[in-house]
C-alpha cells in the first residue's frame, strides 16, 4: 500500500520570480485560488525580499492577504533576512521559508555571503520564530549539484543538514536539487540518511531540467520522503539559461503518485485547470509533461 504524500505548491513564488515583466497581483491571486480549488493546502505564495532585487515579489503582502482568506491553506513566504522576517511576521505568514546553499560558491553567488554568515544570521531568526511558535521550513539549495562546484558529495549535504538540524529539532528541512542534475542514488542516499538520523520532516524540492525530476522524486519517496515541492504548469525556468526548465511540475508529480496509489489530496481535473492557468501566465516559461498527454487529460 502506497503512503500519502503532501505536494507543496511553489508556482506563485518559485514559478514566477524569474519572470521579467510584472505579473499582476490579481493574476497571482487567481493562481492561488485555482490551486486551492484543486486541493492544494500548502503553498509558497511569495517572498519578502528586496523589491529592488526581485520586483516580481513586491506584492507578496497582498497575495498573502488574499491567500489567508482560504480556509485551511497554509501559506509559506520566503524570508532571506531580518527585514523579511519582520515583514512576514507582521503579515501573518503561516510558515516562514529560510534558504541558503549547501555549497559555498552558490551561497556566495546567490546570497553574497559565506555559508557561516548565512547560518549565523538565520539561526537567530529560527530561534525567534520558534519562540513565536511559527512553523518554519529551512531550504538547502544545491544539495546534490552546484553550477559552480559540480557534484556535491553526499557527506557535504549531510554535514550541512547536521548544522541546520542543530538549530531547531522541529524544523522542516527542504533539500533542493536546484540545477535538476541530482542523481537518483544521491537523492536516495541523502534522504535515507536524513530520515534515519533525525525526526524532522524533510521535503524534496526538485527541478526537471535534465528530465530526471520524477526519477529523483521517486528516489526520495522510496526511502521515506513524503513532502514534495512542485510548481503547477512546470513554471520556473530561468530566462537567462536556454533549455533550463523549471520546478518539477505539480501535475507530473501528482500523476506519478496517483498511478502509484499514493494519495495527494488533489483533484485531478481541477489540478489540470490550475496548471493550465499557471502555464499561461504571460512571460512564464512553462514545463511539465502530462498536461500535453491525451491519456492524462482523458482521466480528468
**Which parts of this chain interact with a copy of itself (CB under 8 A)?**
2, 147, 179, 181-186, 208-215, 217-219, 222, 241-244, 252, 255-256, 259-261, 288-290, 292-296
Alpha-helix runs per DSSP H in the chain: 25-37, 60-67, 82-91, 104-111, 115-132, 154-165, 184-197, 213-222, 250-259, 268-279, 294-298
* Residue 102: CB minimum distance to a copy of itself, A: 17
Asked if residue 166 lies in contact with residue 133, where contact means CB atoms within 8 angstroms, the answer is no
- Kindly report the number of other CB atoms within 10 A of residue 217's CB atom: 28
Q: Which of 142, 146, 238, 278 is catalytic?
A: 238
We find the least distance from the C-beta atom of residue 238 to a copy of itself, in angstroms, to be 11
CB of 215 to a copy of itself, least distance (A): 4
> Does the annotation count 238 as an active-site position?
yes
| Residue (97 or 213) nearer to a copy of itself, CB | 213
Q: Which is nearer to a copy of itself, 84 or 233 (CB)?
A: 233
Which residue, 89 or 215, has its beta carbon nearer to a copy of itself?
215
**CB distance 136 to 162 below 8 Å:** no
- What CA–CA distance (Å, rounded) separates 146 from 182? 9
SS3 207: strand
Closest to a copy of itself by CB, 199 vs 295, is 295
Closest contact distance (angstroms) between CB of 122 and a copy of itself is 29
Distances 247 to 174, 237, 278, 293, 295 between C-alpha atoms, Å:
14, 7, 13, 19, 23
The pairing of beta strand 145-146 with beta strand 150-151 = antiparallel
Question: CB of 58: closest distance to a copy of itself in angstroms?
Answer: 30
Cβ-based neighbour number of residue 64 at 10 Å? 23
3-state SS string for 231-245: EHHHCCCCCCCCCCC
DSSP states of 64-131: HHHHTTSTTPEEEEE--SHHHHHHHHHHT-SEEEEEEESSHHHHHHHHSS-HHHHHHHHHHHHHHHHH
Catalytic residues: 238
Amino acid at each position: 500500500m502506497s503512503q500519502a504524500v503532501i505536494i507543496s505548491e511553489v508556482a506563485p513564488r518559485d514559478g514566477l520570480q524569474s519572470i521579467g515583466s510584472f505579473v499582476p497581483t490579481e493574476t497571482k491571486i487567481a493562481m492561488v485560488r485555482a490551486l486551492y480549488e484543486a486541493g492544494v493546502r500548502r503553498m509558497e505564495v511569495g517572498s519578502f525580499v528586496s523589491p529592488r532585487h526581485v520586483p516580481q515579489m513586491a506584492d507578496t503582502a497582498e497575495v498573502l492577504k488574499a491567500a489567508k482568506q482560504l480556509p485551511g491553506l497554509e501559506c509559506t513566504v520566503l524570508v532571506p533576512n531580518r527585514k523579511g522576517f519582520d515583514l512576514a511576521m507582521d503579515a501573518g505568514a503561516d510558515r516562514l521559508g529560510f534558504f541558503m546553499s549547501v555549497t559555498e560558491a552558490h551561497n556566495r553567488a546567490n546570497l553574497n555571503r559565506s555559508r557561516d554568515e548565512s547560518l549565523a544570521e538565520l539561526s537567530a531568526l529560527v530561534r525567534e520564530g520558534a519562540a513565536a511558535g511559527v512553523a518554519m521550513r529551512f531550504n538547502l539549495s544545491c544539495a546534490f549539484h552546484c553550477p559552480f562546484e559540480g557534484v556535491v558529495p553526499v557527506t557535504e549535504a549531510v554535514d550541512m543538514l547536521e548544522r541546520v538540524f542543530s538549530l531547531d529539532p522541529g524544523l522542516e528541512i527542504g533539500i533542493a536539487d536546484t540545477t535538476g542534475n541530482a542523481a537518483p542514488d544521491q537523492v536516495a542516499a541523502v534522504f535515507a540518511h536524513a530520515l534515519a538520523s533525525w525526526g524532522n520532516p524533510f521535503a524534496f524540492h526538485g527541478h526537471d531540467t535534465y528530465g530526471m525530476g520524477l526519477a529523483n522524486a521517486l528516489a526520495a519517496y522510496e526511502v521515506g520522503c513524503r513532502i514534495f515541492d512542485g510548481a503547477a504548469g512546470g513554471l520556473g525556468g530561468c530566462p537567462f539559461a536556454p533549455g533550463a526548465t523549471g520546478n518539477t511540475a505539480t501535475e507530473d508529480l501528482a500523476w506519478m503518485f496517483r498511478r502509484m496509489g499514493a494519495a495527494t489530496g488533489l483533484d485531478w481535473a481541477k489540478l489540470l485547470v490550475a496548471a493550465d492557468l499557471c502555464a499561461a501566465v504571460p512571460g512564464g516559461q512553462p514545463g511539465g509533461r502530462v498536461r500535453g498527454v491525451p491519456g492524462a487529460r482523458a482521466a480528468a
